[in-house]
Amino acid sequence: MIKASPFLLFLNLFFFCLPIANAGEEKLQIVMSTGRAAIISNEHIDETRARALEDALYSAALLGGAEIDGFSSVQAGSQLDDHFVVRPSSKIIDYDVVDERFDDLHYTVEIEAAVGELKKVDCQNRLFNTVTMFAPVFRVYEKLPAWLSHHPSAMIKSLQENLARKPNFNLVNMVNLPLDPKELTRDKTYSYKALTSGATDVLNGDFAFATTITLERTVKKTSFQQNHFVDVMVESAVFVDSDYRPTEKVTHQAKFPIGNFFPTQLMSVLASPNRTKIRGHLSKLISEHAAELETLMRCTPLSATMIAKEDGLHVPIGSRHGLQDKRLAVVSNEVMPWTVLRVIKVNANGAVLMPLNRKRSSAQLSGQRVSFLEFK
List pLDDT tens digits, range 312-347. Answer: 999 999 998 889 888 888 887 777 667 888 899 999
Q: What is the pLDDT of residue 341?
A: 86
Q: What is the pLDDT of residue 275?
A: 80
Q: Is the pLDDT of residue 305 over 90?
A: yes
Q: What is the pLDDT of residue 194?
A: 56
Q: Is the pLDDT of residue 78 over 50?
A: no
More confident residue, 185 or 195: 185
Q: What is the pLDDT of residue 214?
A: 95
Class of domain 303-372: mainly beta
Q: Is the pLDDT of residue 154 over 50?
A: yes
**Count of beta carbons in the 10 Å neighbourhood of residue 365:** 21
Distance CA 267, CA 174 (A): 47
Cα torsion through 107, 108, 112, 117, rounded to 10: 70
- Cα radius of gyration (the chain): 32
DSSP 8-state symbol, 360: S
Q: What is the pLDDT of residue 149?
A: 83
State the helix-helix crossing angle for 151-164 and 275-299, rounded to 10 degrees: 40
Q: What is the pLDDT of residue 311?
A: 92
Whose CA is closest to 228, among 266, 189, 259? 259
Q: How confident is the model at residue 284 (pLDDT cuts 50, 70, 90)?
A: very high
Backbone angles phi, psi at 206, to 5 degrees: -100, 165
Q: What is the pLDDT of residue 128?
A: 79
Q: What is the pLDDT of residue 190?
A: 58
Determine what percent of the chain is predicted with pLDDT higher than 90. 39
Whose CA is closest to 87, among 101, 66, 106? 66
DSSP 8-state symbol, 333: S
Q: What is the pLDDT of residue 219?
A: 83
Q: What does the mean pLDDT of the chain come to?
A: 78
Distance CA 268, CA 250 (A): 37
Cα torsion through 185, 187, 190, 192, rounded to 10: 40
The answer to which of 184-198, 229-243, 329-343 has the lowest mean pLDDT is 184-198
Q: What is the pLDDT of residue 195?
A: 57
List pLDDT tens digits, range 249-282. Answer: 999 999 988 876 644 444 444 345 678 888 899 9
Q: Which pTM value belongs to this model? A: 0.69
CATH classification of 129-299 is 3.40.50, yes or no? yes
Write the CA distances from 72 to 9, 18, 77, integer angstroms.
Answer: 10, 15, 15
Backbone angles phi, psi at 249, to 5 degrees: -110, 140
Which residues are CB-contacts of 265 (< 8 A; sequence separation ≥ 6)?
A: none
More confident residue, 70 or 187: 187
Q: Burial of 29 by CB count in 10 Å (0-12 exposed, 13-18 middle, 19+ buried)?
A: middle
List pLDDT tens digits, range 35-57. Answer: 999 998 888 898 898 889 878 88
